[in-house]
Amino acid sequence: MFDFDQYLGFLSFLTILTIGFWLMIFLLTFVIPYWLFGNIKELLKEKRDAKKAARENA
C-alpha cells in the first residue's frame, strides 16, 4: 500500500504537471498570438513609414 510520503509525492507531481499544462495552454492561446500580432503590426508600420519617407525624399 501507499504510505503518506508516496501520497504527498504523487499529489505534488500531479500539481506540478497540472500547473505546467495550464501554463502551456495559456501561452499557446494568449501570449504567442499576442506576440505574433504585435510583431506583424510593427513590421507593417515600419514598412509603411519607410515608404512614406522614400516618397518624401524623392
Q: φ and ψ at 20, to 5 degrees?
A: -65, -40
Q: What is the distance between the alpha carbons of residues 41 and 51, in angstroms, rounded to a whole number?
A: 15
Helices (runs of H) and strands (runs of E) counted in the chain: 2, 0
pTM of the model: 0.61
DSSP state of 28: I
> d(Cα 32, Cα 23) in Å, to the nearest integer?
12
> What was the pLDDT predicted at 6?
86
Residue-wise pLDDT for 14-57, tens only, equals 999 999 999 999 999 999 999 999 999 999 999 999 999 999 98
Question: Distance from CA of residue 15 to its chain's centroid?
Answer: 21
**Which pLDDT belongs to residue 53?**
93
Task: Determine the pLDDT at residue 3.
Answer: 85
Average pLDDT, the chain: 92
